[in-house]
Amino acid sequence: MSVERALEGVGTFLDDRLHGARGVRVLLRKVFPDHWSFLLGEIILYSFIILLLTGTFLTLWFQPSMTDVIYHGSYIPLRGVRMSEAYASTLNISFDVRGGLLMREIHHWAADLFMAAIMAHMIRVFFTGAYRKPREINWLIGIVLFTLGMFEGLFGYSLPDDLLSGAGLRITEGILQSLPIVGTYLAFFLFGGPFPGHEIIPRLYILHVLVIPGLILALVTVHLFLMFHQKHTQMPGKGRTNTNVVGSPMYPYFMAKTGAFFFFTFAALALAATFAQINPIWLYGPYNPVAMSAGSQPDFYMGALEGSLRMFPAWQWVMFGHTWAFNVFVPALLPLGIIFGGAAIWPFLEQWITGDRSEHHLNDRPRNAPTRTALGIAMITFYGVLWAEGANDIIANHLDISLYLTTWIARVAWLVAPILAYIITKRICLGLQRKDRHLLEHGVETGIIRQLPGGEFIEETRPVDEEALAVLTSRSELPPLPSLEAAEGEVPPPGMRGALGKVRERLYNVVTESVPLPESHGNGHGNGHALEAVGADEHGQGSLPAGTGTEQRGGQDQH
Amino acid sequence: MSDTNSPGQPDSGNSGELSWPEYLTGGESRGAVPPGAQAAEPEGHAAPHRVIGTPPPAVARKLLAADGGGISRETVRELPAEPDDPRRAKRVEKLVAACFLVAGLAGLAFMVFYGTIGVGSITNVLHSNLALGGSMALMFLLLGIGTVLWVRHLMPTVELAEDRHPMAATPQERAAFKETFQEGAEASQFVKRPIIRRSLIAATIPMAVAPIFLLRDMGPLPGTSLDTTVWRKGLRLLVYGTGRPISAAEFNSPGALISVGPEGYLDNDNAMAKAAVSLIKFRPGELVYGPPARPGGPSVRDKVVPNWTVDNIVAYSKICTHLGCPAALYEQTTHRILCPCHQSTFLATEGAKVIFGPATRPLPQLPIGVDSEGYLIATGPFNEPVGPSFWERS
Ligand code: HEM
Ligand code: FES
């Protein structure tokens, strides 16, 4: 009981000063929907927190300095070797600080997990359509976070100043130099003169431990605030509509679950750091501009950039008295530009094409947006080809084929594979939709065979249950294009005229291609069904139009 | 801005009273309660309005009563106090406690290992890493498992539903906002007095540009420094690693490749980043020679420059013309120099011309000769810039 009294005391103290009771009560009961894929975002957050913790530990010993020293530490093979202080201090962390190696490895694994989770999370958000209005801002923040994470990681693994990371810096310098007009200046300003100079490690250090983590932290905060404020999306299911959010309350359920998840993330990283060695810089040796070993690879999230540089043909010309290094700046900027730029404009492009400006809180099942899903898979394939090409020497080695053949395959696959992926994925989605339709029309097969009086055998079916019904019938209904609605001979409304209107109409037909639901379930009434089934109130219905086709059409006329 | 959210907003009546954000001020149920029901209650004490998805029967009954009868919130219980299956809960309780206890022990073990296992040698570090990492992983793993069991089997199953409301404010709210904003703009006189507006804008431009000036001293201007290396006539070629000069007679096994640098610069990373050179020895007849180079003239592409070699020994820049990695791999049988970074491949017998990969230019050839003591020396600088392309290169 005294615990209760103490808590009450603290609560009273705070509420007297902050007026917290009212708001915090609501917060405690805030509903969080459940789905395994919603955990991906949490992995990002927790690996970032682990990066902050382990990174701070590393700063206690790491010396961001390129001053030459002769090594005298515990790692015998390198004793007497000339190296930078940065490299020597990383050896020191690994061999002379208790727990130092563990923390270094957790830090590195956490960086990889961070980036992997960002990718997986982005993929989840894309394929479920969770980026749609009102969440476009968070989608854009996510893309910025991805980019920042790439730079943060690149700068981080450059800090130890080992042979491998030095090559990464050299490539960075080469890419900068290739940029038209400003390139040489940028390279000289970043490196404080010619490569490698003595400035780059201290400069990367402050970017790595302060500037970029600060930006990431700020953006993550805004990201989470927006997620909180707009409430989480949910997957379709019984009782779940576009106007509610169904799940368990933050306190104690979500808190406990997410706490457990933090522990699991930490445990997984500790296990990886214990049993799977990552970045053994003492084997690579200190950086020197003369040596380089075969099979050197950057961290996985830089692989696509690496592959793109490897694959691009040697196109370079001297024009107007200047060198245009297309062979460098195009592969450095274009493919990732297509992916990030494409991802950034897609939500707005989709809105323009479909004319759908309503809010979406109920996620799409990927099959129910065949074009979007196919585009996403095409993009992943595009990225995947570049990524695989980034390790083509290793692939060639393992498969025992010629290195040059792998590059030629990548050069072709870069263009062809995404198109194939698009076509195949769309087919699969439409096929799955047909299967769903079949289920709705004919019910679930029970495995019971019956003989009809006429002697014919049939398999008995039963109608799908409520939960499945809600899932199967969940569709985001799109408003019709104004010009498609306009009767014969009528003048199409503004926005649908001219060439742009034609393009929009074409794209509309592609984007909305779908297998329709059977008559009795059409127009998103499935949600209504499910709602009635659990006796939920109809009150909120219609305040958010999306997902309820007829109402939405009414609202659509406004623009 | 047109918006499909506006029609049919149920909350237009009362939401104007609540300040934003709603969850900090306790308005989570705005709009969900019929206006009539809420009007009777003092602001902020509205009954929470929730729809239960699949509630335990007891709870559902209570909630229905609360909804229907307008009972004050103290009597409403949304979360049941008892687990779904008390017998199972009792068993799992012990398991959870065991997880937490062992996790605590693992944490203790971590500290003991920290104190007892030293570092300072490779084996010690391996042991320490295994002990510390293992105990740490076990601690977190058990904490996680215990917590999950606790949530799954001890906490009663609940599913609550919360209403959503359109993100857009009501037309009234928007109008009020616009009014407030305009009042402020008018009070500031910013709109009415263009001279203030324009002079302020004029002042902010230098303010934004000035910091860029501050960055100017981050590095020297490149000038022509990328065009040249430290190589000059008479500098000896020292073997990288041993630092010793080398004579043509010593370097006599065909197919060999060694890295060399200019005398006096081997430990200078800035110099070596451009001046590193691969020295390759060939059998007679392997090299494909081009016409002799005119002094100072452009190098002859795709052919070895004959008067720049000594006794079938050629010196090529080691710095890849793609992005500057050391082009360090050499395949003796095919005479290919391969850069490990992006696999640009240069044919060593034919002036290091590019035969595959993203590099566009051959590796520049360094003119070499022998000095009076028989050691290899440079007979001049590279006659073109080495390394990656840059804008000013022509
Ligand atoms: C998203 C965030 C971050 C990422 C992706 C990241 C990534 C990395 C990577 C890959 C390394 C190389 C580790 C190795 O040696 O194998 C590194 C090193 C380092 N990081 Fe981070 N890091 C992040 C945040 C931080 C933060 C917040 C700090 C400090 C407050 C920090 C401090 C350091 C230090 C001091 C090193 C060099 C020490 C060493 O290599 O042993 N990092 N980082
Ligand atoms: S740096 Fe040599 S191939 Fe790219």
Domain residues of chain B, as ranges?
A: 10-78, 86-160, 177-209, 226-378
In this complex, the residue of B34, B53, B163 whose CB is nearest that of residue A239 is: B53
Structure tokens at A468: 């499945």
| Torsion angles phi and psi, residue B326, rounded to 5 | -70, 120
Q: Which residues contact B160 (CB under 8 A, 6 or more apart)?
A: A29, A31, A246, A247, A248, A249, B50, B51, B52, B53, B78
A267 and B144: CB-CB below 8 Å? yes
How many CB atoms neighbour CB A353 within 10 A? 21
Q: Which ligand is nearest to the CA of A309?
A: 2
Amino acid (1-letter code) at residue A20: G
Per-residue pLDDT tens over the stretch B174-185: 999 999 999 999
Query: How high is the pLDDT of residue A544?
Result: 41
Rounded to whole angstroms, how far apart are CA atoms A347 and A372? Answer: 10
Chain B residues with CB under 8 Å of A254 CB are none
CB B256 within 8 A of CB B280: yes
For B226-378, give the CATH class. mainly beta
| Torsion angles phi and psi, residue B353, rounded to 5 | -70, 155
Question: What's the average model confidence in pLDDT over A203-232?
Answer: 97
- Parallel, antiparallel or unpaired: strands B353-356 and B345-347: antiparallel
Question: What's the average model confidence in pLDDT over B82-107?
Answer: 96
Chain A residues with CB under 8 Å of B114 CB are 98-99
Per-residue pLDDT tens over the stretch B200-256: 999 999 999 999 999 999 999 999 999 999 999 999 999 998 999 999 999 989 989
- Is the model more confident about B43 or about A115? A115
A491 sits in which H/E element: none
B389 and A328: CB-CB below 8 Å? yes
Query: How high is the pLDDT of residue A488?
Result: 63
Query: How high is the pLDDT of residue B75?
Result: 55
B120 and A95: CB-CB below 8 Å? yes
Chain B residues with CB under 8 Å of A311 CB are 358
Q: How does B31-44 read in b/e, with b if 16+ C-beta sit within 10 Å?
A: bbbeeeebeeeeee
Query: How high is the pLDDT of residue A150?
Result: 96
Q: Distance, in angstroms, between B67 CA and closest chain A CA?
A: 11
Rounded to whole angstroms, how far apart are CA atoms B233 and B377? Answer: 8
Chain A interface includes B218 (CB < 8 A)? yes
Supply the DSSP string of B221-257, one letter for each residue. --TTGGG--S--TT-BEEETTT--B-BTTTS--TT-E
pTM (2 d.p.): 0.87
Domains of chain A: 40-235+246-290 (1.20.810.10), 437-552 (no CATH)
Q: Which ligand is nearest to the CA of A145?
A: 1
Rounded to whole angstroms, how far apart are CA atoms B373 and A141? Answer: 67
Nearest residue of B to residue A327 by CA position?
Answer: B358
Chain B residues with CB under 8 Å of A180 CB are 391
Structure tokens at A284: 């690579």
Structure tokens at A53: 């913790």
Rounded to whole angstroms, how far apart are CA atoms A485 and A492? Answer: 9
Find the Cα–Cα–Cα–Cα dihedral A446, A451, A453, A456, rounded to 10°.
100
Query: How high is the pLDDT of residue B61?
Result: 38
Query: How high is the pLDDT of residue A551?
Result: 33
Task: Find the residues whose C-beta lies inside 6 A of ligand 2.
Answer: B 320, 322-325, 327, 339, 341-342, 344, 357-359
CB B351 within 8 A of CB B366: no
Q: Distance, in angstroms, between B141 CA and closest chain A CA?
A: 5
**pLDDT-derived band at A546, boundaries 50, 70, 90:** very low
Chain A interface includes B228 (CB < 8 A)? no
**pLDDT-derived band at A139, boundaries 50, 70, 90:** very high
- Give the distance (Å) from ligand 1 centre to CA of residue A201: 13
Chain B residues with CB under 8 Å of A249 CB are 78-79, 158, 160
B330 sits in which H/E element: strand B329-331
- Give the distance (Å) from ligand 1 centre to CA of residue A164: 16
How many CB atoms neighbour CB B218 within 10 A? 16
In this complex, the residue of A248, A291, A393 whose CB is nearest that of residue B159 is: A248
ipTM above 0.90, yes or no: no
Per-residue pLDDT tens over the stretch A57-109: 999 999 999 999 999 999 999 999 999 999 999 999 999 999 999 999 999 99
Nearest residue of B to residue A231 by CA position?
Answer: B164
